[in-house]
Structures are given as C-alpha cells and as structure tokens.
Amino acid sequence: METVDRQTAGYPLQGLKVLDFSRVLAGPFAGRMLADLGADVVKVEPPDGDVTRIWGRVQGGVPGYYHQQNAGKRNICIDLRADGAKELVFDLVREADVLIENYRPDVMPRLGFGYEALKQVNPRLVMLSISGFGAVGPESHRPAYAPIVHAETGLLHRLAHRGGIPFRDLPLSVADTNASLHGLVGLLAAIVQRGATGGGQHIDIAMIDATIATDDQIHYALEDSENTGPLPNEVWQTGAGPILVSADFRYLWRMLTTELGIEDPTTGEMDLDTKIRLRREAVTAFMAGLPDFDHIERNMASINIAWGHVRDPATMRSQPTAEARGAIVDVDDRAGGTRPVTQSPYRFSNATSGVRGPAPHRGEHNLEVLSEWLGNTTTDVEFLTRTGVLHAGPEIG
C-alpha cells in the first residue's frame, strides 16, 4: 500500500535522504518537519517498536501520538544487535545525507554507530543527536524526557511561583519540541555548510541547552529582577466565555476609563488595597457584560489591546485562523477513512510543503527502501528477514 506521496517536485528538501533512528518526540518531530519539507525520511525502528505506538487513539493500526510525529515517513525495522545489522546500517549510511537519533550519548557508539564510525563510512553525513543533557558534561549519562528538563530548567518552579499552585508539569512537551526545532536549524545550517566544504559533521543538541536558550523569562531569575517585569496576563469571564487579555492591569484600567467610559469607583482617601479591589470588581463587571465575541473584538480593538479566546483544544479545527490556513488537515487513516493531523507550519512563496501521508507501520517499507536506496532484491530482503535483521508488523488494534 502506497502511503507516502513520493512526488516532491517543488519541495525545498527534495532528494534529501534521512535516516531517523529517533523515538518518542524530540527526534521524530525534527524528522516529521523534514518529511513535510520534501525529504525522504526513513524511520529505522527496533523490533519492539517506538513506545509512542501505545499512546493515542488507534486507527488503521496506527496510534495517534505516533501518527502525529511520524506522518509522511517510510519505515524499516532493524534489530541493531542482530548479525548483519551493522553492515546493513553502514550501507544505508553511505546513501544518506542526514541521520537523526535521540538515545543517551553512549548508546549509538556502543552499538557501533557513533559519529566517529559513521563518518568513516560517509564523510558527508550530517548527524543530529538530541539528548537530555548533551554528549559532554557531568550529567550526560542521565535519561531525560521533557518533564525532567522542565523541572531542571526552572519552568515548574516559575509556574508554581507565579500561579500560586503546587508544582506540576506543563501540559505540552516544550523541552522536546524546542530541542527538536533547534536541532532542525543546526541540521539545515550544516547542510548549507556542507555545500561549501563538502564535509558533514555531528550536531550535539542538549534539551537543557535548548530550553534555557529559548526561555525568554530566564533573565528575571538570573538577575533577581522578577519585580521589574510586567504584571501577568489575566483571564476574564465574559458573556461569550473566558478570554485572556494581554495587558498589564494598570494599562488596561487606564484604557477602559479614558477610552471606554468606565467610571472609577475609588476616591483619594481610600487605601491602595481597597482601590485595587474596587477597580478589579469594575473590570470584572465590564467583561461579564460583553455578550459575544463581536462585542469583545470591537471593544478590545478600540483600545488596541490583544485578547484571546481561552479555547478547548478539541475545538481547534474551528479556530478561524487555523481553519483558514489549514493548520489541521485530514489524511488517510489506513482503514478506509481519514484522520486529522497537524499541517506543516511553513508557507513558502515559491516552494511547497506539507504532510505527505499517514505514519508507517513497523517494517512496512523494508523492501521498498532497500530496493530504492541499495538496489536490494526481494531475495535479499527475504534473507535479511529470515536471519532476524529485518522485522515487520504486526499492526495494532
């Protein structure tokens, strides 16, 4: 069954060959974006499968979380410890432009697939390694998923401190996706440099580095200046539901009183706490009196204040901009229907991008990939399967 659109004319990364050894999120997300940009991304999956194959709704044998991060890729399933696996991987590396992995730093070298070994096979190879604490450092041995990095980089502390809530994790894996996107930038920069030098290189991305580098609030903590920042954005209840208003309350109050005619209920004799309470009560009443989103938009636009509907993510397809820009699209669900998946965010003036099909089954493209990349025959692939190097399926569900 052909599941990936092989026509990539007009895609920026047409012809780029990628071996994706990664699992879960930080590596697979980078591979997914490369596939959306036209690269031939081949996921190299172990026989026991990516752990995300047990997360999410199963359709056509493919669970939702795995589908989201691996849509548009092809898949070969290799037991890296089997006799003959090393030679097969080296053959694939000779043809590859890029290799992505996100094991702990000691794993690939222990298997014989560290960068020093791979560059002897293909000096032009660009290898992207993503790990929690990087390849060099006192904690490089530590396993890390996004919540571990959220804790170590102070995000959980800041969330609890500013929100007055117990310590708890974030509702998305930002440490993974930040590392993935920074890895993607580094990888593409290395491809550009390779065009000038002819040589590849190894990119070491630590999730902790990427999270710190992308944290626009960290300077308040580093400089002990939390009190110099703006007041936090607040959520207000309106007749249409909750909205977040992106404005310091002091500025919001000034605009509401000077431009929209809200009367100040306070007097000069009142203490500060009383003034704040009464003014907040006045704003609460004003917001509750806005009956629908048209009134909200007109009032906020008249004072040039940004606002956002506090939306249930289950309704994301009806968000006006997401709907208009096709941020969520339907792809083949491999069971006679379709399923939703997020679209590539890249919009080019003179190029094409976008998800090119559903996620693959384990080992689904063993013959197809080895035939195209290496010229292997059906007999060759059958032999590798009999000897335990290659595996396939079964589907889930």
Domain positions in the chain are 17-217+319-391, 230-315
Catalytic residue among 36, 97, 176, 209: 176
Find out whether 128 and 187 touch, Cβ atoms under 8 Å.
yes
Q: What tens-digit pLDDT sequence spans the chain (397 residues)?
A: 456 777 888 999 999 999 999 999 999 999 999 999 999 999 999 999 999 999 999 999 999 999 999 999 999 999 999 999 999 999 999 999 999 999 999 999 999 999 999 999 999 999 999 999 999 999 999 999 999 999 999 999 999 999 999 999 999 999 999 999 999 999 999 999 999 999 999 999 999 999 999 999 999 999 999 999 888 899 999 999 999 999 999 999 999 999 999 999 999 999 999 999 999 999 999 999 999 999 999 999 999 999 999 999 999 999 999 999 999 999 999 999 999 999 999 999 999 999 999 999 999 999 999 999 999 999 999 999 999 999 998 766 5
pLDDT, tens digit (0-9, with 9 covering 90-100), for 110-157: 999 999 999 999 999 999 999 999 999 999 999 999 999 999 999 999
* Token pair of 131 as six digits: 């790990």
Handedness of CA 86, 92, 95, 99 (dihedral sign): negative
Could you write out the DSSP letters of every residue in 17-73?
A: EEEE---TTHHHHHHHHHHHTT-EEEEEE-TT--GGGGSS-EETTEEHHHHHHHTT-
Within 211-314, strands assigned E span 234-238, 241-246, 306-309
DSSP code of 350? S
Contact status, residue 85 vs residue 371, Cβ threshold 8 Å: no
Give the model's pLDDT for residue 160: 96
Is 19 exposed, middle or buried, given 0-12, 13-18 or 19+ CB atoms closer than 10 A?
buried
Residue 286: φ, ψ to 5°: -60, -50
Q: Please report the pLDDT score of residue 8 as a whole number.
A: 84
Q: Please tell me the distance from the alpha carbon of residue 172 to that of residue 23, in angstroms, as a whole number.
A: 17
**Which pLDDT does position 196 carry in this prediction?**
97
- Amino acid at residue number 331: V
As a whole number of angstroms, the distance between CA 92 and CA 374 comes to 7
Residue-wise pLDDT tens digits, 92-108: 999 999 999 999 999 99
pLDDT tens track for 188-232: 999 999 999 999 999 999 999 999 999 999 999 999 999 998 888
**What is the value of pTM for the model shown?**
0.92
Distances (CA, A) of 88 to 38, 80, 83, 92: 25, 9, 10, 6
The whole-number pLDDT of residue 358 equals 95
Active site residue 176: yes
Task: Give domain 17-217+319-391's CATH number out of 3.90.550.10, 3.40.50.10540, 3.40.50.1820, 1.10.8.420.
Answer: 3.40.50.10540
Instruction: Kindly provide the b/e burial profile for residues 49-59, where b requires at least 16 CB atoms within 10 angstroms of the residue's own CB.
Output: bbebbeeeebb
Name the strand (E) or helix (H) holding 130.
Answer: strand 126-131
Alpha-carbon distance 336 to 331, whole Å?
A: 11
